[in-house]
Amino acid sequence: MSAIEPGLLVAPRSMLAPAFTALPALGQGWTSAGRPQLDIREPASVQAAVSANTRIVINCAAYTDVDGAEADEAEATRVNGHGAGNLAARCAETGAVLVHFSTDYVFDGSGTRPYPTDHPLAPLGAYGRSKAAGEAAIRASGCEHLIIRTSWLYAPWGKNFVRTMVELGRKHESLRVVNDQRGRPSSCSYLAERTLALLDHGARGTFHVTDGGECTWFEFATEIMVQTGSKCRVEPCTTDEFPRPAPRPAYSVLDLSATESLLGPSSAWQDNLRRTTISPSAE
């Protein structure tokens, strides 16, 4: 992969951003910016941060509290919708390519086959609506863009399902995890690698990037325990047994065919999990 520069990485303290900074392909011309210096909710802040010679902007900023968005949809939309639109408008002015990350939550979860990139959006909750608004704003801006939908993100750092399961597995003899929500896990490191590979291939438009394969949260948790050698027993349960403020899509498997036609088969989620150095969440 050739070096990609110069560019701006937005929100360096997000869960995804460290996976990008670890990749040498980013080259020497990259800078990082996040709050308070760069607040994507404010057009003037975006204008100042994205210089005229910036060729690529990778936006890792997001409002990710799915349940919190139900109580404060306006703020979720300011970040995920208007914020993405502000970046897109500036990229349209400068000619920069905007890389933006969206989510499986833009679909309603009623499907039975992997969702293709052009499937109609029908988000169930506030978080999904805010992300769908961001996608729409980017497309309406006319900027060159690469929108990447992903799902079930995890990393060795930050607050995520894998680290939480490792921590709970060390404290409890058994856990109950939902077995009626199906999707694709996504390693942040793998997502970053595939994103740069798509850029290297000149990809534009909307693509899906996740680990290969699919599973339920119960199956994911069970594999985490196996790989970490935990004695904790994982038992299946239903979504209805653990009600949450925000509705979750029952089936949110993303179709990877467009990405795989350019980059080859996706690495299996079990293998990507195995390559991840897992530690308990400190959250």
Residue 23 lies in a domain: yes
Catalytic residue among 127, 154, 190, 251: 127
Q: What is the pLDDT of residues 110-135, one digit of tens each?
A: 999 999 999 999 999 999 999 999 99
Which residues, 6+ apart, have CB-to-CB distance to 169 below 8 Å? 175, 224, 225, 228, 230, 232
154 an active-site residue? no
CA distance 166 to 170: 6
- Burial grade of 221 (CB within 10 A; 0-12, 13-18, 19 or more): buried
- Burial grade of 50 (CB within 10 A; 0-12, 13-18, 19 or more): buried
How many domains are contained in the chain? 1
Q: Residue 280 has what pLDDT?
A: 58
Q: What is the pLDDT of residues 20-75, one digit of tens each?
A: 999 987 777 789 998 888 999 999 999 999 999 999 999 999 999 999 999 999 99
Residue 68 lies in a domain: yes
The per-residue DSSP string of 11-23 comes to: -TTSSSHHHHHT-
Q: At what angle do helices 217-228 and 161-171 cross, to 10 degrees?
A: 60
Question: How do 205-208 and 145-150 pair as beta strands?
Answer: parallel
Predicted structure pTM score? 0.95
Tokens describing residue 132: 């769908």
Residue 166 lies in a domain: yes
- 33 is in which domain, residue-wise? 7-215+245-274
Residue 229 lies in a domain: no
What CATH number is associated with residue 142? 3.40.50.720
Give backbone dihedrals phi and psi of 183, rounded to 5 degrees, phi first.
-160, -160
